[in-house]
Structure 1
């Protein structure tokens, strides 16, 4: 490529490091807010078999097609702990990217079965929030997480309680978003 008078450093001067989504901080939560988490996720047979094997879940309902065919469901069910893990994982982007700990999972209910090929969607509702006297850098947020299949059947609900950083203690930046060590990748000095 040849350089002309019009090919100066203006392109380089237009470069800017832009902050992406840094997740919610304690101050961002309000009781009654509902966050519909982005992206549905289709559950595969592989998901179910791996989770069943890794956790040594010996219920043949999850891994024995002949056995499951004779049950009221007529086919294998997806391991409930996979459904929990998937729904919680889907909620992290909105609820706990900035959590320092998950304090509990309560009132876990499987409302309907999940089968191979079902696509799950999740949402969280803020039930309560409170500050801590013992820790001024975090607050506790209680949420209800709900997961639905592609037919709008509620398949899971649970209450989740993360301890979430307050913004002033997180110091988010475009150069160092959550999960990135300082100095990795493009930095403001590089632009």
Structure 2
């Protein structure tokens, strides 16, 4: 019987818990930085119908094809509040994973209509940041959020102001990233 030699694929390897993206903390923001948020998102008819029904938006431009066909747009438009929610959601990964509160949404503008089948992309620019005397664990970051369709047309802009945690008060780790409770999943002592 031949002696077995260890296969390089079956050799034991060191295991590590590797930190993923933990989002930006207050110190990570610099005025003038632009974050192009990952992933575009195609808006479906279902998105529009659900949002219109859930919010009881009774404007027939969103749910009545025959009515919308007779307007200057010739078809239904996607509910503007869905576009806002989608763009804000797309920005969370870069702007507010570590926010303790959203203080405001200002200067909201719909620049062009959004239709079923449009793919939306979003980016945020840091406009200002400031520390608070009353709360030493957070700072305020003001951003401009811009959303575009697949043709590069600006469809939405707004200013967003989250209150963001400072790194020293977050104590992020690979074993306990944002949103995870302590002790869930693989822990260093398990390796």
Name the TM tier (shorter chain): over 0.9
Give the equivalent residue in structure 1 for 2:106: 106
Give the equivalent residue in structure 2 for 1:139: 139
Give the equivalent residue in structure 2 for 1:55: 55
Give the equivalent residue in structure 2 for 1:80: 80
Give the equivalent residue in structure 2 for 1:65: 65
Cα deviation, residue 5, structure 1? 6.6
Deviations 1:78-115 (A, max 9, x none): 00000000000000000000000000000000000000
Give the equivalent residue in structure 2 for 1:178: 178
State the aligned residue count. Answer: 188
- Give, in whole Å, the separation in 2 of the partners of 1:73 and 1:51: 20
Cα deviation, residue 14, structure 1? 1.1
Cα deviation, residue 6, structure 1? 3.3
Deviations 1:129-176 (A, max 9, x none): 000000000000000000000000000000000000000000000000
Give the equivalent residue in structure 2 for 1:129: 129
- Give, in whole Å, the separation in 1 of the partners of 2:13 and 2:157: 50
- Give, in whole Å, the separation in 2 of the partners of 1:149 and 1:181: 37
TM-score (norm 2): 0.95
Cα deviation, residue 11, structure 1? 5.0
Structure 2, unmatched stretches of 5+, are none
TM-score (norm 1): 0.95
Runs of 4+ deviating beyond 3 Å? 4-7, 10-13
- Give, in whole Å, the separation in 2 of the partners of 1:23 and 1:177: 10
1:15 is aligned to 2:44: no
1:46 is aligned to 2:46: yes
- Give, in whole Å, the separation in 2 of the partners of 1:112 and 1:163: 30
- Give, in whole Å, the separation in 1 of the partners of 2:27 and 2:79: 36
- Give, in whole Å, the separation in 2 of the partners of 1:100 and 1:90: 18
- Give, in whole Å, the separation in 2 of the partners of 1:186 and 1:73: 53
- Give, in whole Å, the separation in 1 of the partners of 2:5 and 2:18: 29
- Give, in whole Å, the separation in 1 of the partners of 2:127 and 2:170: 23
Structure 1, unmatched stretches of 5+, are none
Give the equivalent residue in structure 2 for 1:29: 29
